[in-house]
Amino acid sequence: MKLLTSSSILALSMIAASAGAVTINNPSFENGFDDWNDDDPSAVSGDAYSGNNSAKITGEGGRVEQDISLSANTNYRLTAYVLGSGTVGVNINGAVFDTDSDDDDWNQVQVDFNSGSNTSAELFAKYHNGTGRFDDFTVEQIGGTSSSSSSSSSSSSPSDDVEASASTDDGNVAANVLDNDLDTRWSGNGDGEWLELDLGSVQQVGSVNIAFYNGNQRNSYFDIQASSNGNNWETVLSNGQSSGSTNSLETFSVVETDARYIRYVGHGNSSNSWNSVTEMSVNSEGGSDSSSSSSSSSSSGGSGGDIPDLITDGSLFDLEGENPHPLVNDSTLRFVPLQAQVTTPNGNGWRHEYKIKSGLRIAMTDTYELFEADIKVDMSDGGKTIVAQHHASDTGTIMKLYVSDSSESGFDDSVAYNGIFDVYVRLRNTDGNEEKYALGTIRSGDTFDLRVINDYGDVYVYSMGNSFGIPVEDDSASYFKFGNYLQSQDTRTNDDCGESGDSDSFEECYEDLGITESTVTMTNVLYEREEN
């Protein structure tokens, strides 16, 4: 353990203040939890990085938080020290910037963020995968303050032929994606905000190179559009997704087209609704880059494959709800329970789903299954749905994947009706007890990746760079389901508000709760199954 004298701590504090530090009250917990809000299980620990105390969080729901004041449109860096397992971050008006740490020694973590138009934020530390201790929080301004502009901006790039513009920015402007500097970026908050390159002339485009801000920490979601005249646009890459493993350029193939303008249409990332690109360039048919660029790593991308026939041809799956049919086109499924209005005798809401046929259901330990999809959720505030589950032969469930804007504790947000949806999984272990795990958060209109594997009774769930898996309780006639099972539940109280199996009471419940939208769109869908 590193020990500092009180005079050393004071000197460091003075240095931080002179560097544009944000005021954090009791940043090292020397006065216990004074000036912090703490949620159990939490405690003050004598095992500290510096001084005498740190904050200790020992279980799900454990959290400490403090409101801090910021300057608008300013870049900041949060720094803290973590021992064990924990998450540190800031929540800026619903946009969460955070990072996880798992280390047996004290580990310094950093989170960079921009305040946008906001002048305050919630600084927090919370439970991750086990007991964690937190100490020495600082938030400092980096890179100065910049003015914000909501209008389209256009700037010359280092190349005379290529220019960049954007629908919005937070002071990190479009021209930054052409400066060959991975430390600068364009950022725009919100689904559908775009970044555009004008190539100067019509060229045959075959791929684009993109580097993403915090690209090694999260997945970014986007479409690529092309136009020859700047007015008529064609989507040449749908449901694009970064690797989540690199800050360097990644190459994404697009439908070859003749275009002068290439537009990146952002759909946020696996942590929040921000779209942030550090570098972008375009490759013409011969593979030449439309602008000079730094070294890159290659990653494949595509517009998505067809929905597997075994899902839609009736050989393996039954469909609950044919009006409207979920098959929108060869590559897209759209589930809308508010229109389909399917009920089942023991159901807790309207559903629109595919499920394994009754005669083909077998034990979890007798089958290997793989399900993958990119899932876009459009949902009213306060909505809660199940998009995938392994179901037991009775009314019990083995695995459930939720998207929920609820107050249930233990997840990344856990606040009802604030428009932030927790994505989490519940798995029933071999003792019959349910375990839950937070995978991330999204907002309505966001897309997240999902991969579920049943490896002969060991179930693993992967999403947004996180994963959770355990051996599960077996059932002789288990079956897989996926789609949109809209829960009839008041997510502020977690109380059911519709009578089981009663469609009329579900309708009344949704109306009372203000649930007017619930659409789950799936692309890049894959399902495989092998039996013993």
Name the class of domain 309-531.
mainly beta
What CATH superfamily is the domain 6-143? Galactose-binding domain-like (2.60.120.260)
| Contact indicator for 181, 213 with CB cutoff of 8 Å | no
3-class SS letters over 277-305: EEEEEEEECCCCECCCCCCECCCCCCCCC
pLDDT value, residue 200: 87
Strand partners, 153: 166
C-alpha–C-alpha distance, residues 115 and 296, integer Å? 29
At the top level of CATH, the class of 153-284 is: mainly beta
Distance CA 373, CA 522 (A): 6
Single-letter amino acid code for the residue at 183: D
Domain(s) labelled CATH 2.60.120.200 in the chain stretch across 309-531
Q: Which helix (H) or strand (E) holds 27?
A: none
User: What global pTM score does this model have?
Assistant: 0.47
- Ranges in the chain annotated CATH 2.60.120.260: 6-143, 153-284
Tokens at residue 481, please? 């389901």
The pLDDT of residue 294 is 32
pLDDT given for residue 20 in this prediction: 61
CA–CA gap between residue 348 and residue 273 (Å, rounded) = 30
């494959």: which residue's tokens? 305
Per-residue pLDDT tens, the chain, 532 aa: give them: 333 333 333 333 333 333 468 999 999 999 999 999 999 999 999 999 999 999 999 998 899 999 999 887 677 889 999 999 999 999 886 667 788 899 899 999 988 777 766 788 999 999 998 999 999 999 988 753 333 332 223 333 334 578 999 999 999 999 999 988 888 999 999 999 999 999 988 888 888 999 999 988 889 999 999 998 888 888 989 888 998 878 888 888 888 888 999 999 999 999 899 999 999 999 864 333 444 333 333 232 333 468 999 999 999 999 999 989 999 888 899 999 999 999 998 889 999 999 999 999 999 999 999 999 999 999 999 999 999 999 998 768 999 999 999 999 999 999 999 999 999 999 999 999 999 999 999 999 999 999 999 999 999 999 988 888 999 999 999 999 999 999 999 999 999 998 887 889 999 999 999 999 999 999 999 999 998 7
Q: What amino acid is encoded at 321 in this protein?
A: G
CB 360 within 8 Å of CB 316: yes
C-alpha atoms less than 13 angstroms from C-alpha of 232 in its C-beta half-sphere: 4
Rounded Cα distance between 276 and 262, Å, is 16
- By the 8 A CB rule, do 337 and 350 touch? yes
Rounded Cα gap, residues 63 and 40, in angstroms: 7
